[in-house]
């Protein structure tokens, strides 16, 4: 049985049944959220395993058995098309969402309106899952908006402080602007080619590459760079991510900027545009923004005094590495260097989701226990919160790229390929890491420094908050200890599948 539609049906059902389930009591409501997200993870793993084993793209047509219309040879229905990349990101989304929900059980215990909170968190999850499985441009936009609107609401969920409300409104206004740019691009493509199916669009644009298709790409790419938090359109991220509850920050920084940002960029550039436009140019456009992003993001992280804001800027920096991998993957398309760079970018996408989720959960634990995220007041936390500090140590070491943790494996692939493609890019990447190290060392010194008054009464949080952190630490260590096995068996095949845009087209159009 094809379980793919259940990837959307299950969280959708969970979200809309949540208000009813809440009548049965708080415990049932909490358990319902955990069960729904656990089942979603199971389905995502099943979909991933099916594609990985058969090496075949799964195509699902809504409302019919074939995407092609009756008597015509082109697709007329909404198509969901999942390759290894989509499935891998779906597993990551479902995994981190499950942990964020478990963490929320204790972290959000004292908040009110939790039925709305769990509804929104499941809608956020389904929006992201929709983005990574769809093969239709407008459907992609719809899921992007579902994801975005849920995240606007979640950023402003704690409306007792102005920080959350202000960040939420700012995020909503500028996010809607970026979404309208994407919509404009999609509308231009539809006006020009009369279709929204990505595979068919790819074929059409290859046949008739018009000026309008380039304008559409510029608008879509700009919107997606915004959604991924790339410089110069990153300003919203540093306000929105820290203002949200930490479990949501973990999802925003770990997942939302990946699914709605870098994944979508990779999908549109590789699957729709790679044949019709000069692929080297496309690659260098992405490399340009990647270099800006990884320098500015990491450098901004160095000067922050708010711990969550520091992590948010670090996310901007890490997006730079992922974009660099994608950019080199495009610019060196068809070579081993490009292939390894793309595999590195995909690997780093998964790794960063795990590492940043861990770091934001740590920040949440600190905020929960000490009541502040100001680094100047958190000195000497390690003695009072040893487990949390250990979790931070692992997360920070991984994100800086220390062997044998997972960040090293993926960053190494990106350094290696950028050194081979253009040594200047490698030097920029390493410079970004130098800033990143400086930023995290500041937090480390704070945690292990002289004890301040504020932290004297702090203690590690309860088990429910510790368990997700421990699971993420285990994931970081395992992915760090088996880097080449994971790379050879998962990341390289995923990169290969993404590069072969012809297969992506043929999966829908047949032949």
Q: Which residues bind other proteins (CB under 8 A)?
A: 173-174, 177-178, 181, 211, 214-215, 217-219, 221-223, 225-226, 232-233, 235-236, 277-278, 280-282, 284-285, 288, 299-300, 302-303, 336-337, 339-340, 416-417, 419-420, 423-424, 426-428, 430-431, 434, 438, 488, 492
Nearer Cβ to other proteins (434/474): 434
Nearer Cβ to other proteins (94/337): 337
Nearer Cβ to other proteins (232/510): 232
Nearer Cβ to other proteins (62/177): 177
What does the alpha-carbon distance between residue 387 and residue 466 come to, in Å, rounded to a whole number? 8
- CB 477 → other proteins: shortest distance, Å? 24
Nearer Cβ to other proteins (39/218): 218
- CB 387 → other proteins: shortest distance, Å? 29
- CB 226 → other proteins: shortest distance, Å? 7
CA dihedral 167, 172, 173, 179 (to 10 degrees): 140
- CB 296 → other proteins: shortest distance, Å? 9
Nearer Cβ to other proteins (21/322): 322
Residue 195 has a CB neighbour count (10 Å cut-off) of: 18
Terminal CA-to-CA distance of the chain, rounded, Å? 24
Nearer Cβ to other proteins (129/299): 299
| Residue 453, burial from CB neighbour count under 10 angstroms (0-12, 13-18, 19+) | exposed
Instruction: Name the 3-class secondary structure at 82.
Output: strand
What does the alpha-carbon distance between residue 2 and residue 87 come to, in Å, rounded to a whole number? 14
Are the C-beta atoms of 447 and 425 separated by less than 8 Å? no
Residues 6+ apart with CB under 8 A from 28: 21
Q: How far is CA 482 from the centre of its chain?
A: 22
What does the alpha-carbon distance between residue 166 and residue 238 come to, in Å, rounded to a whole number? 12
What does the alpha-carbon distance between residue 178 and residue 176 come to, in Å, rounded to a whole number? 5
- CB 437 → other proteins: shortest distance, Å? 11
- CB 476 → other proteins: shortest distance, Å? 24
- CB 503 → other proteins: shortest distance, Å? 20
- CB 247 → other proteins: shortest distance, Å? 27
DSSP states along 305-324: -BHHHHHHHHHHHHHHHHHH
- CB 19 → other proteins: shortest distance, Å? 34
Nearer Cβ to other proteins (6/273): 273
Nearer Cβ to other proteins (187/438): 438
Are the C-beta atoms of 289 and 305 separated by less than 8 Å? no
Residue 292 has a CB neighbour count (10 Å cut-off) of: 17
Under DSSP, the state recorded for 377 is: G
């Amino acid at each position: 049985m094809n379980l793919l539609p259940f990837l959307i049906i299950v969280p959708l059902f969970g979200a809309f049944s949540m208000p009813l389930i809440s009548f049965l009591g708080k415990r049932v409501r909490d358990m319902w959220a955990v069960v729904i997200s656990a089942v979603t993870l199971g389905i995502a793993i099943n979909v991933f395993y099916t594609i990985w084993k058969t090496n075949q793209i799964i195509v699902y047509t809504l409302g019919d058995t074939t995407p092609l219309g009756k008597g015509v040879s082109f697709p007329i229905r909404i198509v969901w098309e999942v390759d290894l990349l989509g499935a891998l990101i779906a597993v990551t989304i479902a995994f981190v969402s499950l942990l964020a929900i478990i963490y929320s059980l204790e972290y959000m215990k004292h908040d009110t309106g939790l039925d709305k909170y769990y509804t929104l968190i499941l809608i956020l999850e389904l929006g992201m899952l929709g983005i990574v499985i769809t093969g239709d441009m407008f459907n992609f936009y719809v899921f992007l908006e579902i994801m975005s609107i849920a995240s606007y609401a979640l950023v402003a969920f704690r409306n007792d402080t102005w920080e959350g409300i202000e960040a939420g409104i700012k995020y909503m206004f500028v996010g809607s602007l970026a979404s309208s740019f994407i919509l404009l691009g999609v509308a231009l493509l539809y006006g020009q080619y009369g279709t929204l199916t990505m595979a068919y669009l790819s074929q059409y644009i290859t046949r008739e590459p018009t000026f309008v298709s380039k304008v559409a790409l510029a608008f879509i790419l700009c919107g997606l760079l915004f959604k991924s938090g790339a410089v110069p359109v990153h300003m919203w991220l540093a306000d929105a991510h820290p203002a949200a509850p930490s479990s949501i920050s973990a999802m925003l920084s770990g997942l939302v900027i990946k699914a709605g940002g870098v994944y979508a960029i990779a999908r549109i550039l590789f699957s729709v545009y790679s044949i019709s436009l000069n692929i080297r140019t496309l690659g260098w456009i992405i490399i340009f923004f990647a270099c800006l992003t990884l320098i500015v993001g990491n450098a901004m992280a160095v000067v922050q005094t708010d711990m969550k804001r520091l992590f948010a800027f670090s996310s901007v920096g890490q997006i730079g590495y992922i974009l660099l991998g994608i950019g080199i993957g495009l610019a060196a398309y068809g070579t081993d260097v490009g292939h390894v760079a793309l595999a590195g970018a995909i690997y780093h996408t998964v790794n960063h989701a795990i590492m940043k989720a861990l770091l934001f959960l740590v920040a949440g634990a600190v905020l929960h226990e000490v009541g502040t995220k100001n680094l100047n007041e958190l000195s000497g936390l390690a003695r009072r919160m040893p487990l949390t500090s250990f979790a931070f140590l692992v997360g920070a070491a991984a994100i800086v790229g220390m062997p044998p943790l997972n960040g090293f494996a993926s960053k190494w692939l990106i350094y290696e390929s950028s050194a081979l493609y253009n040594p200047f890019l490698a030097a920029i990447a390493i410079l970004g890491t130098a800033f990143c190290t400086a930023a995290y060392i500041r937090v480390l010194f704070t945690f292990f420094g002289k004890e301040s008054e504020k932290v004297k009464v702090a203690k590690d949080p309860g088990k429910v908050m510790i368990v997700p952190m421990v699971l993420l630490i285990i994931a970081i260590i395992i992915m760090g200890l088996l880097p080449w096995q994971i790379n050879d068996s998962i990341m390289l095949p995923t990169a290969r599948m993404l590069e072969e845009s012809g297969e992506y087209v043929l999966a829908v159009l047949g032949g």
